Amino acid sequence: RKEVEQDPGPFNVPEGATVAFNCTYSNSASQSFFWYRQDCRKEPKLLMSVYSSGNEDGRFTAQLNRASQYISLLIRDSKLSDSATYLCAHTGTGNQFYFGTGTSLTVIP
Amino acid sequence: GAVVSQHPSRVICKSGTSVKIECRSLDFQATTMFWYRQFPKQSLMLMATSNEGSKATYEQGVEKDKFLINHASLTLSTLTVTSAHPEDSSFYICSAFSVGVSTEAFFGQGTRLTVV
């Protein structure tokens, strides 16, 4: 079973739309969770960490549900510049970072 | 955020040759470095975890004799792809991590390897 499962999409949404991504993880002992953004042919960049209480950064909201072992990312008021691949990640017991397959988002004018 | 430099950014090599990729943490000491491989339209797949001064821990299915990892110092890790084949062509990315610096890992810019 994969460490992290993520719907690859693609998600094609109009500008201004709200879009949500989910990611499930298999290791209940996972400590830390993150959402990364990856543009084509570039390295991933941290978008936000995910905390148990949920956290918000502008138009982005991340949540963690330990009971159901999933994390989510909500993007409100989508911009064209939000088009990218979004990767969820969690750390293993040895601090290894395991990534989901990534969800492709295209925001359409 | 912390800076991780990866070199080269792009390399083309002939089948059967070896290629070395360097990963350096420029402004912090990385206790752990990770090496990933990413094929087109696929996710980052963890290849190995490298701790300074000890042998790397390889993920299942990754050949340790083919992908040699050296982590000789707290700021440098190298990945050598030995006897490269066309199917080794991929995007290789390193990331560096230090418990005392942050809970996140910082990524290098990646190396696009093409084996012809």
Tell me, yes or no, if A45 comes closer than 8 A to chain B by beta carbon.
Answer: yes
The β-bridge partners of A106 are A12
- Go through A68-103 and write b for each residue having 16 or more CB atoms within 10 A of its CB, e for each that does not: ebbbbbebeebeeebbbbbbbbbbbeebbbbbbbbb
The answer to whether the CB atoms of B57 and A94 lie below 8 A apart is yes
The residue-averaged pLDDT of B66-87 equals 93
- pLDDT above 80 (res A7): yes
Measured in angstroms, the CA of B2 and the nearest CA of chain A are apart by 12
Write down the residue that tokens 């995007």 correspond to.
Answer: B91
CB contact under 8 A, A45 and B42: no
What mean pLDDT do residues B69-93 have? Answer: 93
Q: Residue A41 and residue B112: Cβ atoms within 8 Å?
A: yes
| pLDDT tier at A38, thresholds 50, 70, 90 | very high
Q: Which two tokens stand for residue B26?
A: 């420029």
Structure confidence at residue B113 as a pLDDT band (50, 70, 90): very high
* pLDDT score, position A2: 64
Residue pair A13/A19 in contact by the 8 Å Cβ criterion = yes
From the candidates B39, B54, B90, B104, which should be mutated to test the interface with A, based on the most A CB atoms within 10 A?
B104
